[in-house]
Amino acid sequence: MQKKSLLRFTTTGSVDDGKSTLLGRLLAETGSIFDDQFAAIEATSKRSGKQEVDLALLLDGLSAEREQGITIDVAYRYFATQKRNFIIADTPGHEQYTRNMVTGASTAELAIILIDASKGVLTQSRRHGFILSLLQVPRLVVAVNKMDLVDFSQEVYEQIVQDYMDFSEKLDIHEIFFIPVSALNGDNVVSPSPNMPWYERETLLHHLENVHVAADKNLVDFRFPVQYVLRPDSTFRGFSGTVVSGKVRCGEEVAVLPSGKKSRIKKIVTHDGDLEETRIEQAVTLQLEDEIDISRGDMIVRPHNLPHASNHFDTHLCWMDEQPMTLTGHYLLKHTTRTVKAYISHIHYTVDVNTLHRQEAATTFTLNDIGRTEIKTAQPLFFDAYRKNRGTGNFILIDPETNRTVAAGMIRGEAISIQDIQKSTQTKKSSNVVWQEGAIPLTKYVERNRHKPAILWFTGLSGAGKSTVAQALLKRLFEENCDVMLLDGDNVRHGLCGDLGFSINDRSENIRRVGEVAKLFYQTGHIVVCTFISPLIQDRTIARSLIEDEQGFYEIYVKCDLDVCIRRDPKGLYSKAISGEISDFTGISSPYEPPEAPEIVIETDLQSVEQSVETIIRHLKDSLFLFS
C-alpha cells in the first residue's frame, strides 16, 4: 500500500472571518472528530444560546477564545482523508497576535486566507498576505467566506477576487487559488454548493487533497545539522539529527563543517533499522568511516555542495516581543542546532504592511514590526538563503536574560556594502615593485639578541587589560635585554591608521596594516607586542599568516568577563556605547569572536598584572622562545 502524502497548511485572515468554523466544518465532514467531542461542543453551543452547533469550538481551545469568539493562540489539528494526511495551524486574525500567525505559517506548504464576503479585502487580509509572501509559503488559497450573507452573489465574489489580485501582484506568491464558500453551511467546503452554480471549479477539500507540493522541497542540497553525538558503547560513535534538506546514501563522501574534514557514510541508523538512503525531515544517526571530532552545531554536507559561511548577513525580521529591539545589547541566535551570540548591526527599513511602503528612518523594531536588518554573530553560521532552503535560512532571536523568543528571521544572504565591493576590486599590491631582502639574515639577529623574533598579539575586549599587561611585559622583556617594541591600538590610530573608523571593514584594514608593520619588525629580530581588540578570528588569522614561521606568532587571549570590563570602563567608552553615542562598539553593538586555540590565555579578572606577565614569560621560556 502506498504511503499517503502529508500537507501542512495554515489558515488566517481578519477577526471573525470564520477560520475556526471553516476548519471545524472540514474536521466534521471528514469524520475526524469523536462522538464525545461533538457532544461537548453541542452542549457548549446550547449553553451559549446558539441554535446550530458551533463548529469553531473544535479549534478554539482556550477558555478566553471561547468566551470572546476569536482565535488567540495557534491551534494545531490533524485529520486525514483517503488521499492525504493534513496538519492544520489555525492562526489568530487579530493584529495583536501577528507573531502567532508567523509561528503557525513558518512550516506551512499552503495557506488559506479567509475574506468575509460582506466586508471585502481588509487591512489584515493584506497584512497576512504580505507575511505569507515573506515566509515564502508557495501557495495561497483565498477563501471568500460567508457568501450566504451576500446572497451568493457572483458579482461580489468577482470584485473581491479582482481587488486581491491587484494587491497580490506586489507579493512573491507562486500560485493563488480563489474559492467562494460558506463555512457555516458547508457550501464548497467538502461538497459543491447548489447555491453557487456559477462556480464550476473544485471544492476546498478537493483542492487540498490534490495540490502538488513535493516540488517545494529542496532535494538537492544535503544539510544535516548535528544535534547529538551518540556513543552507547565503545564500538559505536554516531551523529544524530534531522535531515533538513537533500539526501545522502551509504558510501557517499561527506564533509563536516566547520573543520572541513572529509569521510564517507558508513551507516544510516534509525530506530526501525538501517537505511541505504535518507529522506528529508527524517531523524537518523549517521556513522562515518573515519574518526572525526564532531559536536553539536556542526553540519554534515556534501564537499562539492556547500552552504554559505558568514557571521554577517542580511535578514528579514519579524519582531515578536513587547520589548522594543535594542541595538546596544546582544541576543542569542538559534539557527538549526547552533546557538550563538548575535547583534543587530543595522536597520535598513521596516515595512508598512498596509501599503507595503518602506520606513527607512526606522531606528528600532516594536511588537509585530517587519523589516530588513543586518545581523552579526560571534561565530560564523552555515546557511542558505531562505528562498532556496527554508530549513537553513531561518532563525530565531532569544533574549538572553528572559529566555523569551523576541524575533523570527529569514536570511536573505551575506551582507554586502559598497565598501565590500570596493575592497574586492582594489589591487592588493602595488605594481612594478620588488621585495628587497635585508643584508643581515634573521639568524644573525637571533644570535646577537639571544632570543627568537616573535609577534605577541594581545586580543580581548576593551577594558580587559591588554595595554596594562602589555606595558608591564614590555618593561620586563626590556630588562632582560630583549629587542622589543610595542604597537598599541590607540597609538597607531594617531598616525598610521588615523584615517580609519570602527566599522567592520575599517577594523579589518586596521589589523591588516598593523600586521604588515609587525612583520617588518619581526624580520629584523624584534619581539613585537601588539595590543588590539581585533574582534574577528578571520583578521587575526590573516595577521598570523603574514609571517612564514607561524610558530613565531603568539595569540594571547586577555580573557575578562564583559560585566567586569563595563565596571572598569577606563576610557568611559562603554557608557557611551550603551547610551547609543558610539556605534559598532565591540561587546555592546558589535561582536567579539574569542580565539579558538590561543597560545596563551590570561584571565585578568582573576589574575593580577604581575601574575599575567609571569604566565606569559613562563610560556615563552618553556617554548624555547627566550634563551636562558
Catalytic residues: 534
- At residue 147, φ and ψ (nearest 5 deg) are -65, -25
Q: Are 617 and 482 in contact (CB under 8 A)?
A: no
Q: Are 533 and 492 in contact (CB under 8 A)?
A: no
- Written as nine digits, the cell of 84 is 492525504
Q: Are 415 and 313 in contact (CB under 8 A)?
A: yes
Q: Give the 3-state DSSP-derived string for 81-142, with helices as H, strands as E and coil as C.
A: CCCEEEEEEECCCCHHHHHHHHHHHCCCCEEEEEEECCCCCCHHHHHHHHHHHHCCCCEEEE
Strands 84-90 and 454-459: unpaired
DSSP class of 58 = G
C-alpha to C-alpha distance for 107 and 431, rounded to whole angstroms: 54
Identify residue 531 by its one-letter amino acid code.
T
Cα distance from N-terminal residue to C-terminal residue, the chain: 80
- Written as nine digits, the cell of 386 is 531562505
What torsion do the CA atoms of 260, 263, 264, 266 make, to the nearest 10 degrees?
-120
C-alpha to C-alpha distance for 257 and 219, rounded to whole angstroms: 20
- Find the helix or strand (DSSP H, E) in which 480 lies: none
- At residue 35, φ and ψ (nearest 5 deg) are -60, -40
C-alpha to C-alpha distance for 47 and 49, rounded to whole angstroms: 5
- Written as nine digits, the cell of 309 is 559561511
Q: How many CB atoms lie within 10 A of CB 475?
A: 12
Q: Nearest-CA neighbor of 217 among 109, 104, 86?
A: 109
Cβ-Cβ contacts under 8 Å for 507 (sequence gap 6 or more): 500, 533, 534, 535, 536, 539
Identify residue 278 by its one-letter amino acid code.
T
Angle, vertex CA 173, rays to CA 167 and CA 178, nearest 5:
70
Q: How many CB atoms lie within 10 A of CB 282?
A: 14
C-alpha to C-alpha distance for 107 and 10, rounded to whole angstroms: 9
Q: Is 73 strand, coil or helix? A: coil
Angle, vertex CA 35, rays to CA 29 and CA 41, nearest 5:
80
DSSP class of 326 = -
What torsion do the CA atoms of 337, 340, 343, 347 make, to the nearest 10 degrees?
-10
Q: How many CA atoms lie within 13 A of 233 on its CB side?
A: 1
C-alpha to C-alpha distance for 146 and 128, rounded to whole angstroms: 19
What sign does the CA torsion over 309, 312, 314, 317 have? positive
